Amino acid sequence: MKKDIENRADIYLLVKHFYTKLMNDDLMRHFFLEFSKPDLLEEHLQTLVDFWDNVLFYSGGYRKNAMLPHLTLHQKNPISKKHFNTWLSMFNSSVDELFEGEVSHQAKSRAQSIAIVMEIKISELNK
Ligand code: HEM
């Protein structure tokens, strides 16, 4: 049986595994090219650990607005429904390959809710 997501070290394993998938995928790779520089990837993974630590364990360590960079990104590199579906499906499979339990379930459910809000905000930009 796999363990549940319990701490920042677990979140780091998750986001690292997830980004390996995203950065090796033909549909998704172009969004993440800047992270082919190892220092920039590490810095970004630490931001994602802060974000998920806050979402799952209320750490208070992430105080930025996660929506904004995506709205800016979309202006340069349009993010479509297909990209969101692939992002979510890779996030879910990354969780399932490494962990199981209540927090793991929460992570997938929160990712989906946030992605839905992000998609709506992006679609409003296109009007
Ligand atoms: C297809 C969908 C998505 C794409 C292509 C994408 C891509 C990116 C990229 C390229 C960055 C770096 C932006 C920058 O530093 O300027 C980023 C940052 C981030 N993304 Fe996403 N993302 C997607 C969906 C999501 C979702 C659904 C979530 C949350 C559940 C999320 C959470 C974050 C967070 C927390 C950051 C860091 C923001 C910060 O610097 O404070 N992303 N994303």
Q: What is the pTM of this model?
A: 0.97
Q: Is the CB of 83 under 6 A from ligand 1?
A: yes
Q: How far apart are CA 97 and CA 90, in angstroms?
A: 10
Please answer whether residues 41 and 35 qualify as being in contact, where contact means their C-beta atoms are separated by less than 8 angstroms.
Answer: yes
Q: Which residue's alpha carbon is nearest to atom 38 within ligand 1?
A: 66
The percent of residues in the chain predicted with pLDDT above 90, rounded, is 95
Q: Is the CB of 81 under 6 A from ligand 1?
A: no
pLDDT digits (tens, 9 = 90+) for 54-77: 999 999 999 999 999 999 999 999
Coil, helix or strand at residue 58:
coil
Please answer whether residues 53 and 59 qualify as being in contact, where contact means their C-beta atoms are separated by less than 8 angstroms.
Answer: yes
Task: Report how far ligand 1's centroid is from the alpha carbon of 14 (Å).
Answer: 15
Q: Is the CB of 64 under 6 A from ligand 1?
A: yes
* Per-residue pLDDT at 126 exceeds 80: no
Ligand 1, residues 54, 70, 94: which to mutate, most atoms within 8 A of Cβ? Answer: 70
Task: Report how far ligand 1's centroid is from the alpha carbon of 47 (Å).
Answer: 10
pLDDT digits (tens, 9 = 90+) for 86-112: 999 999 999 999 999 999 999 999 999
Q: Which long-range contacts (CB under 8 A, 24 or more apart) does 39-46 make?
A: 44/19, 45/12, 45/15, 45/16, 45/19
Give the ipTM. Answer: 0.98
The domains of the chain, with CATH numbers, are: 8-125 (1.10.490.10)
Q: pLDDT at position 93, please?
A: 98
